Amino acid sequence: MVKSGISSFFVYVINLFPSMLLLVLIDDLLSENQISKGFYVFVSLVILGIIYFLLRTDYDSLYNAVYKESANLRLDIADILRKLPLSYFSRHDLSDLSQTVMSDVESMEHAMSHAMSKVTGFFMFYPIMVILLLVGNVKMGLACVLPIVISLGLLFLSKKIQVSETHKYYQKRRDNSENFQEAIELQQEIKSFGLVGLWKEDLYKKMDESEKIHFRSEIFQGLPLFLATLITQLTPGIVIISGAFLFQSSELSLLY
């Protein structure tokens, strides 16, 4: 995972080079410098070669290594299952057991091959980009960085609220299940003492409370996520407007 994270970081870095070459070309055209066409051709070929090499390395470290390790993990699990006593399999459904184990392994390999390494590389790459943006122009850098930071903060807040509210909701559902089970077991006694109406009212009240908790949890979970998505979608507009004002006030060059 460390190797794949580092390779993903270098892929993020090399993806900047075509844009940098384009900026050099625009600067050349605006300032009427005489840089030969051979320079751009040579640099473009070098960048393409580096991109090819890094993408190939990233693929090998990301997919081939991960799925090779996943195959070893499946063999290790099979070896562990082979050593279990036969009595264990008589008490468990074999199809359900195999399906659960294979599903867990598949989820692990999907996370390792897609999300974890890319996220690791991004968190290595993003601070460097933030520093470079702020060094170039503080105001423009903040216009680029702050919306993303706020969106990430809202995502973490949504996760925290989701864990808390979902726990409350499932705890309430468990309590309701126990109350319904108790009502079923004591139905004769409830009818004998004429408590049907009281129990019915209490159960309906508990159901209404669980629905309110569920509704509140959905609202509290969705609101930060909605705001994070909205801010992310507005980020290009914020950057363009900020850049236009800064350029108009001569605080920003065209090639920033």
Check whether residue 143 and residue 239 sit in a common domain. Answer: yes
Among left, alpha and beta (phi > 0; psi -120 to 50; other), residue 173 is alpha
- Output the six-digit token pair for 106: 């598949």
State the Cα angle at 251 between 250 and 254, rounded to 5°: 70
Those residues with Cβ within 8 angstroms of residue 63's Cβ, 6 or more apart along the chain or in another chain? 113
pTM of the prediction? 0.63
Single residue among 70, 101, 135 that ends a domain in this structure: 135
Count of other CB atoms within 10 angstroms of residue 5: 19
Q: Using CA atoms, how far apart are residues 59 and 241, in angstroms rounded to an integer?
A: 38
Check whether residue 28 and residue 105 sit in a common domain. Answer: yes
pLDDT band, residue 209 (cuts 50/70/90): confident
CATH assignment of the domain containing 223: 1.20.1560.10
| Of residues 44 and 67, more confidently modeled | 44
Q: Name the average pLDDT for the chain.
A: 81
Question: So what's the pLDDT on residue 255?
Answer: 67
205-234 burial code (b ≥16 CB/10 A, e <16): ebeeebeebbeebeeebeebbebbeebbee
- At 140-193, the pLDDT tens digits run 889 888 988 898 888 888 888 888 877 888 888 888 888 888 888 888 887 777
pLDDT at 93 over 70: no
Question: So what's the pLDDT on residue 114?
Answer: 66
Check whether residue 147 and residue 121 sit in a common domain. Answer: no
Per DSSP (E only), the strands in 104-154 are: none
- At 13-55, the pLDDT tens digits run 999 899 888 888 888 877 777 778 888 899 999 999 999 998 8
Check whether residue 110 and residue 206 sit in a common domain. Answer: no
Question: 72-79: long-range contacts at Cβ-Cβ below 8 A with a sequence spacing of 24 or more?
Answer: 73/105, 73/108, 73/109, 74/102, 74/105, 77/101, 77/105
- Output the six-digit token pair for 19: 């844009």
Name the percent of the chain lying above pLDDT 70.
Answer: 92
Single residue among 119, 135, 151 that ends a domain in this structure: 135
Check whether residue 16 and residue 98 sit in a common domain. Answer: yes
Say which residue the tokens 């009818």 belong to. 191
Structural domain range at position 113: 1-135
State phi, psi for 167 to the nearest 5 degrees: -60, -45
pLDDT band, residue 96 (cuts 50/70/90): low
Single residue among 81, 107, 135 that ends a domain in this structure: 135
CB 188 within 8 A of CB 194: no
Question: So what's the pLDDT on residue 1?
Answer: 66
